[in-house]
Each structure stands twice: as C-alpha cells, then as structure tokens.
C-alpha cells in the first residue's frame, strides 16, 4: 500500500438505548462517523436476553444490508468504525468486541489507545486470561469481566477504568444497559443525545445526532461514566481528583467533521478562525487562495476572508477514488497521487497562488500539489498550513508515524520549503492554533507538536515485556510487538 500522507484516526463509536429501530439508527450513526475509520465496522444489538452481532471489513454501506440489519434484533445497540493503530487490520480485530462471562454478556467499542496496554496484558495473561485479538481494547473487556473486590456494579466499573491509562472513549453494552466512559484527560470526544421517543444516544461526534434527528444534550465529561438503563441516565465520576484536561487539538484541525460541535465549539467555525489566524501571521501578496479539498477548505476560506484575497476551488476532488497501492514505477505512484485531485489550470495560470492545507506529515502529497500548480503555469506557489509542524508521534490513538518519518522532525523549515518547491512556507503558530479554539492552552493535548505527553509512557518497559513474550510465544510475539510499536515514543 502506498504510504499515507494524512494521519488516520483510531475509530468512531455509537450507542443507543431504548429505540425499536436501534440497529438501523446505529447504521446511520456509523455512516456519519465513517471518516473516523474505514477498515472495518460492527454492530451489536440486544433484546435484553441475547446479543446479535455483525461485523465486516470495509465501509459501512458495504457491510450492512437491509437483510443484515433486520437480523440485528433489539432496542439497544452499539456500533464501531475502525482504523487500526494497534493490532492488525483483520476481521478478528473488528469491534465491538463481545464476551459472555460470569457477569453476563458485555460488548465494547473503544476510541483511543491505551499506553499501559502491554503491561496490563502481561498481567492478565499471567493470571490465566486468554486473548483472542491483538487490539488493546480487549484488555478493557477482560478487566470488566474480572471478579472485583469492590461492592456494586458501579464500583466495579470504576475499579476497571482506573486500571487503564491513555486515551479511551468507550461505549459498553450489557443485556440491560448502555454505558459511556471517557478517560480523565478527555483525549477523545464523546457526546450524549436524545431521540424524540426518549431513547438515549452516545456518539463520538454530534454530526451522528443530526442525521437521526437526536437532540444534543451534553458531552460526557472527562473521567465520567454514564449508565443508561430503564430508569434513565445516571452519572459516576471515576476520577474526582483529576483536573488536568488534554483534549486532542487535532480533532479541531483535521479529524472531526466540520458540522460537528465539540466541547462547545463548532468545528467549522474553529477551522475558519485558524485560517484567519494564518492571515494575521503570514501576510502574503497573492492573487488567489486555493484549499486542498476537503481538509483545507475551511482554513483557506478564513484566510481569504481575513486577507481579502479571492478564494478559488482550483482543485477538484474525485470522491470515488479508493485506496491506492504501491506500484513498481514512479510514474504510477505519481498518478495515484494526482488522480485524487484534479487542477483547473485556467484558474491558476499566471497567478500568485496561496495553497492552504491542514497539515504536512510526510510531505509527498503536498509536493505533488505544488508541482501541479507550477506545471499549470502558476507564477508563484506559497504553502500555508493551518497547524504547527508535527514533530512527534501520537501514542493516544492517532496513527502519526514514527518520528523519523515526520518531515518537520527531520528537516529544517527551509529544507521542507525546498523539498516542496514552494516559493514560501508558513505554519500556524501553536498560540495561534489555540487562540482559534477560544479555549486555554492547558485544555489540550498537543504532544504531536510540543512533545509534552500528558500521560507518561515508558517504551523501555514495553520493550522488556515484548522480549519476554517473544521468548515464550514464538511467532505470536512478533504480532504483539507490532501492536506495541505503534504506542512507543520514538
């Protein structure tokens, strides 16, 4: 497969309690969250007695037909769309994961990445747990199924989530409950909505509520467990002493859909403001502002509004291009990049062009865009990016590559500009990016930019565990080591 230029997200989650069309509504919810994961998807429903499960590889509309949905019985359901960051891309790793244990039936969907996954897995295996997948999410299932010293169902939930570290927004289904959980830092989003018939809904983004006409109620708070059952919704704070917040700011920059509202901010509005901030920080004399669709649209519009330079959609996106694969010739590799966006040459010929994108990770795709503009006759090409340079990998559920593959981490500013063949290159400052959100800097995780990881992670401990595993498990260890490699700070 051709190396990706844009980072991938771990997944999207959805849940509903108390609706006769739970499976169908979950399908539409996942359809709205497809941008958060395109490798696999799954739905688990319950009628209060049994679980009904369907999972598959690929996109949501290709996995769930009308016949399949008709067999997913019950008034409560959870769903998941996945892109793999831990564990291989295979059906066995597709979520939601399910288990039938002494506590009853449990299904779980997880958005995020656990930073203590290797150590917990080692501990659980030493106590006899048998794992069926290589995803860190299965660790949570085992913890939930374990006998606990604490008294009561809610206390057992608290005890389980306090064992895990890192990023997690969870939807959990039992025969009689829908449960939502968010880690104490609030890395990943999770919102609560309600249908006209009173059914409660949980979703990674509010855009999922819009399609099914659910009313947004509020976000699940960091560290909160919400339990929804026949008596309504009740809340438990699992981390009352924790005050540090670390919402992933890249959700605003790139991942979330612009029609979603996250933490009381509309994503579209934040991205437009990022473009305005770019115009304040990088004043360039140019004839037109051109976005890289679709991720650069909002920031390019903001730059145009603030600078007065006309906005033009000179790149036209082909929405029907599938995944491109590594080919033996450079010619075909270049073609795979160009086929995704086609340039309207008449709009840029003889013009000084500002091209706006949300990020530069490896730089290969950005270079192709600049080359296309210059080949079409653009007089000048100025590249602007609506976030700071990415300097570090993410260990909390975004598939940023290892540090050696991040262009900004291995090249100077001018070296990047020359690689892109751009006349100038400008990034939005860290302060400018934060200012566009209207929130304080300490509300966010920005480790991929500044290297400050809110949850400590020791790759040496992880390496030691993997080496021990290799010694006793042979071939399985290589797959588990690959699982942990995604989590390391390299």
Q: Return the active site residues.
A: 11
Q: Hey, which residues does 306 pair with through a beta bridge?
A: none
Distances (CA, A) of 476 to 113, 340, 484: 21, 38, 13
What is the C-alpha to C-alpha distance for residues 290 and 303, in angstroms, rounded to an integer? 10
What is the C-alpha to C-alpha distance for residues 443 and 107, in angstroms, rounded to an integer? 31
* Longest CA pairwise span in the chain (Å): 73
Q: Which residues of 42-69 are buried (b: 16+ CB within 10 A; e: fewer)?
A: bbbbbeeeebebbbbeebbeebbeeeeb
Distances (CA, A) of 110 to 93, 136, 234, 481: 12, 9, 21, 21
* Ramachandran bin of 156, using left for φ above 0, alpha for ψ from -120 to 50, beta for the remaining angles: alpha
Q: For residue 454, which phi and psi values (nearest 5 degrees)?
A: -65, -35
Residue linked to tokens 């290892």? 402
- Crossing angle for the helix pair 117-126 and 137-145, to the nearest 10 degrees: 40
Do residues 293 and 273 lie in contact, with contact meaning Cβ atoms separated by under 8 Å? no
Q: Which residues of 336-367 are buried (b: 16+ CB within 10 A; e: fewer)?
A: bbbeebebeeebbeebbbbbbbbbbbbbbbbb
What is the C-alpha to C-alpha distance for residues 78 and 319, in angstroms, rounded to an integer? 28
């Amino acid at each position: 497969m051709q190396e990706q230029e844009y980072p991938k997200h771990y997944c999207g989650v959805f849940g509903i309690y108390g609706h006769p069309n739970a499976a169908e509504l979950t399908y539409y919810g996942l359809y709205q969250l497809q941008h958060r994961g395109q490798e696999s998807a799954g739905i688990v429903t319950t009628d209060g007695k049994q679980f009904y499960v369907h999972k598959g590889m690929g996109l949501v509309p290709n996995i769930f037909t009308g016949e399949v949905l008709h067999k997913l019985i019950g008034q409560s359901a959870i769903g998941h769309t996945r892109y793999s960051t831990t564990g291989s891309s295979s059906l066995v790793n597709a979520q939601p994961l399910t288990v039938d244990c002494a506590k009853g039936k449990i299904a779980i969907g997880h958005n995020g990445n656990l930073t203590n996954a290797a150590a917990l897995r080692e501990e659980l295996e030493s106590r006899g747990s048998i794992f069926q997948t290589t995803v860190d999410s299965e660790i949570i299932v085992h913890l939930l199924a374990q006998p606990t010293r604490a008294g009561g169902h809610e206390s057992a939930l608290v005890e389980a989530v306090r064992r895990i570290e890192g990023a997690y927004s969870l939807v959990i289904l039992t025969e009689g409950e829908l449960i939502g959980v968010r880690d104490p830092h609030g890395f990943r989003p999770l919102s609560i909505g309600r249908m006209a018939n009173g059914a409660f809904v949980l979703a990674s983004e509010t855009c999922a509520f819009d399609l099914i006409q659910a009313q947004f109620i509020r976000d699940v708070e960091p560290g909160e467990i919400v339990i929804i059952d026949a008596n309504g919704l009740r809340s438990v704070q699992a981390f009352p002493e924790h005050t540090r917040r670390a919402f992933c700011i890249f959700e605003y920059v790139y991942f979330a859909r612009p029609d979603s509202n996250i933490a009381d901010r509309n994503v579209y509005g934040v991205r437009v403001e990022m473009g305005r901030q770019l115009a304040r920080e990088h004043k360039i004399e140019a004839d037109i502002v051109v976005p890289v669709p679709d991720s650069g649209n909002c920031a390019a519009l903001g730059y145009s509004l603030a600078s007065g330079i006309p906005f033009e959609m000179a790149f036209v996106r082909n929405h029907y291009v599938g995944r491109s694969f590594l080919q033996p010739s450079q010619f075909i590799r270049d073609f795979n990049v160009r086929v995704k966006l086609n340039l309207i040459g008449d709009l840029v010929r003889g013009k000084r062009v500002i091209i706006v994108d949300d990020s530069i990770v490896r730089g290969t795709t950005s270079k192709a865009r600049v080359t296309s503009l210059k080949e079409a006759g653009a007089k000048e090409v100025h590249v602007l990016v609506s976030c700071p340079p990415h300097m570090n990998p993410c260990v909390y559920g975004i598939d940023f590559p290892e540090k050696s593959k991040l262009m900004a981490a291995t090249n100077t500013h001018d070296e990047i500009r020359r690689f892109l063949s751009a006349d100038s290159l400008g990034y939005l400052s860290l302060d400018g990016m934060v200012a566009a959100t209207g929130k304080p800097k300490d509300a966010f995780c920005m480790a991929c930019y500044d290297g400050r990881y809110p949850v400590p992670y020791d790759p040496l401990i992880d390496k030691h565990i993997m080496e021990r595993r290799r010694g006793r498990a042979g071939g399985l260890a290589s797959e588990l080591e690959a699982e942990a490699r995604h989590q390391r700070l390299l």
